[in-house]
Amino acid sequence: MSTPMATISMTSSVVFGTYRNCLQCLSQLRGGGGGPNSKIEVFLSGLVAGTAQISVMAPGDIVKVRLQCQTESKRGGSNMRKPKYRGPVHCLLRIIKEEGFLGLYKGALPLMLRDAPSFAMYFLTYSIICEWLTDHGKKRPDWSGVMLAGGVAGISGWTVGTPMDVIKARLQMDGARETKRYRGFLHCVTDTVRVEGVGVFFRSLGINCVRAFPVGVVVFFTYEVLTGFLRARPDSVDTPRLGLE
């Protein structure tokens, strides 16, 4: 857990910062004059944000996956296989030593194909539901509406992203235990479908959605509270909210 906890603030900063700046740039390009962003602008901004965060997320993600899939016990006897990685830092350094710096970005393509459309759907769903729940004359729904929209947005994002999450994890683990199975991204996809069927891509969808709803609630609630506080400061710069105005 130490790896995702150490990197989540950076990745969230890149995602929301990129998204907000893209919304502002698109609004200026069409001469919006502070009007609400269109749904296609929200979708495209989410797509760019999901792609941009790969640069900071990929190294931490592969370390997390390698450690989570390491099943050997540190308490095993002398005749038992010892864990390959002793911790996050050791895992990071060993990947660089054995696979080079680019080894930290192994699985980056499926990660991008997961997160780009996932965040596009994430922000689009949030924007649409907030719009539905907003009373006439107001700029956003009440806090229960914000939390509901955030939770549903999390589920929609992971519904789109789960298939590529399966491929990403398999490529990141491939060769970690001296046995390399896949020749590349396309071979991993075709071999997975051939051996296990299409259903394997949605095998973890249920647990992803169970996790995604409360995470989406917390993320958007916290984001709206903090941005509302910062916008209330006299020296704040007025920037578009999450596609809501």
pLDDT tens track of the chain, all 245 residues? 777 677 888 899 999 999 999 999 998 888 766 678 899 999 999 999 999 999 888 898 888 888 888 876 555 555 667 788 888 889 999 999 988 999 899 888 999 999 999 999 999 999 999 999 988 877 788 999 999 999 999 999 999 999 999 998 888 888 766 678 888 899 999 999 999 999 999 988 999 999 999 999 999 999 999 988 887 766 555 555 565 55
Q: What is the CB neighbour count within 10 angstroms for residue 108?
A: 21
User: Do 238 and 231 touch, CB atoms closer than 8 A?
Assistant: yes
List every span in the chain annotated with CATH 1.50.40.10.
Answer: 115-232
Burial (CB count within 10 angstroms: exposed 0-12, middle 13-18, buried 19+), residue 122? buried
CA angle centred on 157, ends 221 and 124, rounded to 5°: 70
How would CATH label the architecture of 115-232? Alpha/alpha barrel (1.50)
Model's pTM, two decimal places?
0.84
**Exposed (0-12), middle (13-18) or buried (19+): which is 81, by Cβ within 10 Å?**
exposed
